[in-house]
Amino acid sequence: MRLLAALGRQPLDRPPVWLMRQAGRYLPEYRAIRAKHDFLQAMTTPELAAEITLQPLRRFPLDAAIVFADIMSPLPAMGVEVAFDPGPRLTPIAPEDVALLGDPDPARVAYLTETIKLVREGLDPAVATIGFAGAPVTLLAYLVEGGGSRQLPALRRALHSDAASPALETLARATRSYLRLQVEAGVDLVQIFDTWAGWLTPSQFRALAAPAIRHVIEGLGVPTIYFAPGAAHLLDQFPALGATGYGVDWRLPLDEAWRLIGEDRVVQGNLDPAVLLTDPDTVRRATRAVLDEAGNRSGHIFNLGHGVLPDTPVECVEAMVTEVVESVRVGAR
Specify whether 246 is catalytic: no
Specify whether 103 is catalytic: no
Dist CA 35 CA 14 (whole Å)? 38
164, 158 contact by CB (below 8 A): yes
Helix (H, G, I), strand (E, B) or coil at 237: helix
pTM exceeds 0.75 for this model? yes
Dist CA 256 CA 247 (whole Å)? 13
Catalytic residue among 2, 26, 63, 142: 142
Instruction: For 167-203, give one letter per residue: b (16+ CB within 10 A) or e.
Output: bbbbbbbbbbbbbbbbbebebbbbbbbbbbbbbbeee
Q: What is the pLDDT of residues 152-193, one digit of tens each?
A: 999 999 999 999 999 999 999 999 999 999 999 999 999 999
Of 228 and 87, more confident: 228
3-state DSSP of 30-76:
HHHHHCCCCHHHHHHCHHHHHHHHHHHHHHCCCCEEECCCCCCCHHH
Specify whether 157 is catalytic: no
Average confidence (pLDDT) over 279-284: 98
Residue spans per domain, the chain: 2-325
Q: How many Å is the Cα radius of gyration of the chain?
A: 19
Topology of domain 2-325 in CATH is TIM Barrel (3.20.20)
User: 88: which strand partners?
Assistant: 84
Using CA atoms, how far residue 98 sits from 141, 164, 192, 195, in Å, is 11, 9, 20, 19
Catalytic residue among 9, 59, 70, 255: 70
Catalytic residue among 2, 14, 21, 176: 21
Catalytic residue among 34, 59, 108, 173: 34
Average confidence (pLDDT) over 223-247: 97
Ramachandran angles phi, psi of 122, nearest 5° = -95, 0
**Which pLDDT does position 329 carry in this prediction?**
61
Helix (H, G, I), strand (E, B) or coil at 147: strand
Specify whether 292 is catalytic: no
**Which pLDDT does position 290 carry in this prediction?**
97
User: 128: which strand partners?
Assistant: 64
**Which pLDDT does position 82 carry in this prediction?**
93
Residue 10 has pLDDT above 80, yes or no: yes
Q: What is the pLDDT of residues 70-120, one digit of tens each?
A: 999 999 999 999 988 788 899 999 999 999 999 999 999 999 999 999 999
Specify whether 329 is catalytic: no
Residue 333 has pLDDT above 60, yes or no: no
Q: What is the pLDDT of residues 36-56, one digit of tens each?
A: 999 999 999 999 999 999 999
pLDDT class of 327 with cuts at 50, 70, 90:
confident
pLDDT class of 332 with cuts at 50, 70, 90:
very low
